[in-house]
Amino acid sequence: MEVVSPWRDSLRQLKKNRFALAGLVIILFFILLGVLAPLITDYAYDDTDPVNRLQPPSSEHWLGTDDIGRDIFTRIAYGARISLQVGFFAVTGALVFGTILGIVAGYYGRWVDMLISRIFDILLAFPSILLAIAIVAILGASLENALIAIAIINIPIFGRLVRSKVISLREEEFIMAARAQGMKNGRIILHHILPNSVAPIIVQATLGFGTAILEAAALGFLGLGAQPPDPEWGAMLASSRAFIQLAPWTLIVPGVCIMLVVLGFNLVGDGLRDSLDPKMKN
């Protein structure tokens, strides 16, 4: 009888999930769109052509042009780079710091847990977008500061998730046996606690990508994220809202792109949750 590792079994389960595969296709499409942007378009994202402003989709401009004649398809392609980079770096930062704080709080408990948990509670007491706006207002409006703000507001989400997992693990028999053998706390965390906490972290990170991209778009829409002429999708929405009746494609296209990317990450995240959770398998 073939012995199948849990990770390989989870991969098999994921391959059977059509919605997760559809989400993966959407994500890969936008990744390729961003990577191949210089090769698939003849324009630069900041090239202006006032004579051909607000042109509808055509063979020359596949998705039309905006209010100063920039090619929308080109800006969408380059904007995919910005959105995916923001999602990656913001989620990575939140994951790293949230995981470290969650492990420390859950494993050591007592006053350390109380202090870290209260910090999480304070951050979660504010609506996430308002807290992000406040952070960017302090640091200054830019894409880099928006990335920092998005990472900060997502730290307690990862931290509380990891903390709850560590609390349930630290009293398990194999952890108690490791302590009885004289294994140090650092080694227990690295070799036992962290590996057994990976599954929920992966799921939350995948779902967090979609949330981070949506938050970056919201900050860009408010003028607190990427600054002109950077082709960030939220900023594109903001600049085209005045032309919703005259040239609706300038608003619809970036809006649909944001929706599709967020949907793709949510579908993959749901599929990972179903494949990595033993209860869902049963």
Q: What is the mean pLDDT of residues 259-280?
A: 83
Q: What is the DSSP string of the chain?
A: -----HHHHHHHHHHT-HHHHHHHHHHHHHHHHHHTHHHH-SS-TT---GGGTTPPS-SSSTT-B-TT--BHHHHHHHHHHHHHHHHHHHHHHHHHHHHHHHHHHHHH-HHHHHHHHHHHHHHHHS-HHHHHHHHHHHH-SSHHHHHHHHHHHHHHHHHHHHHHHHHHHTTSHHHHHHHHTT--HHHHIIIIITGGGHHHHHHHHHHHHHHHHHHHHHHHHTTSSSPTTS--HHHHHHHHGGGTTT-THHHHHHHHHHHHHHHHHHHHHHHHHHHH-HHHH-
Higher per-residue pLDDT: 185 or 158: 158
pLDDT of residue 186: 81
Q: Is the pLDDT of residue 3 over 60?
A: no
pLDDT of residue 121: 93
Q: Is the pLDDT of residue 4 over 70?
A: no
Res. 1 pLDDT band, cuts 50 70 90: very low
Q: What is the mean pLDDT of residues 76-83?
A: 94
Task: Render pLDDT for 236-257 as a digit per residue (tens, 0 to 9).
Answer: 999 888 888 899 999 999 999 9
